[in-house]
Structure 1
Amino acid sequence: MKKIYLSLFLVLTWLKGFSAGEIAFVAFQSDDPDSFSWVALVPIPAGTTIFFTDNGWNGTAFRTSEGVLTWTAPAGGVPAGTVVTITGTSTASTGTVVASLGSFSLAAAGDQIFAFKGTLASPTFIAAINFGSTGWVDDNMPASTNTTALPAALTNGSNAVAVGNQDNGRFNCSDGSEMGNIATIGANINTTTNWTTSATPLSPAVSACTYTSSSLPVRLISFKSEAHSAAIELTWQTGEEIDNSHFEIERSSNAQNFEAIGRVIGQGNSTAKLVYSYVDVSPKTGLNYYRLKQVDLDGQFEYSRIVSARLTGLGLFKAYPNPVVGILTIELPSESTIESACLIDLTGRKVREFFDSNVSVEGVENGMYTLQVKTKDGRTFQQRVLKIN
């Protein structure tokens, strides 16, 4: 029996969002009794819910003729490396499971299982397995309930796998790699040739794999987003870095399909607390979702949790005259009022604080300043201001 090694994210990664590949399917059985198994590749806090469905995906939405199961993590949570087996619609080896919608039943003629968060109408995909004869279909309208397209948020061979039309199957641990992070383990599990399949139930139904954690490549302490008048600022802090090459900043408008918008170089190896930042100067209007892709020196990578910020007030905030001699006037969106504001010099020192829209800058030295305004409805605006005589 080989051991599979994986790098753990902090529990922090599961508190507010899920990323594709944080669990992986490791077995299925469509012969009576129906069952499937998956492994947690990150720690899962107590009370966390994950939804499973055998509905097919038509390219833009789920078909809704089949069922949904709701799994809930037990008190104390689920450690990374734990294999959870769900039998029927009401039995789970760890945690609890209930049938929450429709009829969940795996078809021996071929079927699929998706793991997701959110809702059936607006899912955030985590993992998928396909054991139908057609594999992942290319068109946007699968011909039957037992065929499916692959959602754009998932990648076959990374966080999804198609194993061919067999009634039963399991990830074959003896064909797995011995060491790797989440991306490596996910690729290993989601490679078709690493699976054993059969027309009759397998014994054991799940391979006896031991999933053992190795050291963290990067320990992420925090990851935050803050909207300003025309930009969104991202800040994050690490507590330890091992062979950290860089961070890629990815943005999405739907929390599913991400694109890279920037890169910040890492410190390589460090045991100190380090703070990083990135400003998205061209965010989309409305809600923007962000995640970090931390890349090691050897090319392996991990994803952070997802954070979001809403761009509001674009083009509705201004401070004038600029340059300013005596009185600076602040205009805000009509629904906003000032809670606090300040002028900050180039060294980061706060030189003047005020609480209304007309500000005297008499006595302030000539030079460039950042005007920062916080409103009572929670928004923050910033503008460069030049003070002259």
Structure 2
Amino acid sequence: MTMNLKNTILQGIFLLFPALLWAQGGIVNNGASIRITNTANLKINDGGVINNDNGNINNEGNLGLDLNWVQLGATTNYSGSGWMTFEGNTHQNLSSTIPMTIPMLRVNNGNHLILNDGIIVSAQIDLLNNGSIELGNNNLVLTPSATILNFDASHFIITNGAGSLQQEVGAATVFFPIGNSTYNPATLNNIGTVDNFSARVEDRVWDFGTTGTPETQDIVNRSWHITESIIGGSSATLTVQWDAPQELPGFDRNQSGVAHFNGFLWDHPLAYTGANSLGGSFTQTKTGIRDFSPFAVEDINETLPIELLFFEAYRLDKNNVQLSWATASELNNQGFTIERMLDTETEFSTIGGADGAGNSKSRLNYRLNDINPHQRISYYRLKQIDFDGSYSYSKIHAIDGSKSTENSTIQVYPVPARDHLMIDFSNWENDNSDAVLKIVDIHGRVLVMKEITMQQNHLIRIDEVVDFPSGTYFVTIGNDKTSEFVQKIIKY
């Protein structure tokens, strides 16, 4: 049987049965206002709820479902301080046309609650009786005061897709009981600007962070994808957890640490230490994090042939392009070559290079000047070569031609940037004038805004770039007297 509710005719029925009301087959609410009082229990055997447009369900008691919840339309509403409990004998599904807010959510079925759409939980989640919530590609958002109860290695938030568990993180530590095929939770605190963070786990580590080839040794076979909502301002501490079966061959947990992929390469730990033991599991911690996603646990043997800090290319003047790069460490490194391709060419060619240090544990800086008066775009890449003949390439950098440099009165470098940015007015030929300098991300969010003076030989250094995550940004400079200057930059 299906109970088909229209208008508000059953509102009184719920009020008249304060103890327990059973329904067989399910409820379809086509616009009714339903209220479950704080002493009432509504148990739907062998069925679920479809809450259609204009349907309003206020639950102050307990609502138990054997099957699924489907919320359709933008005008439906679910509210109240009572528990919505999924307690069937099989996997159950929750769907909502728009993100649905549930104050109290309980999974008490020994199986999974599968989210077909994103939801918001404003008070508590109770993973009773081995229940888990499977996110797929959907987000589970917790309000700042919301908590998760009764999680452990058997029941947790399953991040088996692009969806993540999200919550605000400040100075107080927030625990994310997440995992994919296994339980691999993360804890996070942030002494910087309070922000909303997203967390999910992937059952592999890619050599290029989110793409490439999966790693096969000397690493824990899990990636923790941690992201912040508002870019910059965070200073976080992250602790991740794993079990011995997730360690790939050769992994030495006594000399291990948390690595972070910065968008170009893996930043390795400053020091390798013994993992902490926690009830049969193991943890490692990374502090002072300003750039996010993804993270992995590696051992000291996982260090790549070189740890490249940066590779930069920028035009000094109409005839010269400067190439510079630095390594934090080198292993079996024979050397480097710089390759260039003009936009009129179809292949890269070698224009110079530098010998490597072989093995090094200290920072080494390299620089090469290319005489290049080409008036259009030139492309550069760095090739690193091992003693055994194997090699790898950096990302390709595109440099504007000499003609555009002659016509530009403002120069921005280095591009790509790592820890600072220079705004150079050496070629400024106009009258001195005040302007506003902004750096915005690809979403249009303003990350830096400064009042500046445009005048010849004025050089401005922007240090805030060090806090930016890797990505694309735009520098804009303008006032009501001059056309706006815009230049794209890349941050590594």
TM-score normalised per structure 2 = 0.24
Q: Which has the larger radius of gyration?
A: 2
Bigger relative contact order, structure 1 or 2 (CA pairs below 8 A, ≥6 apart): 1
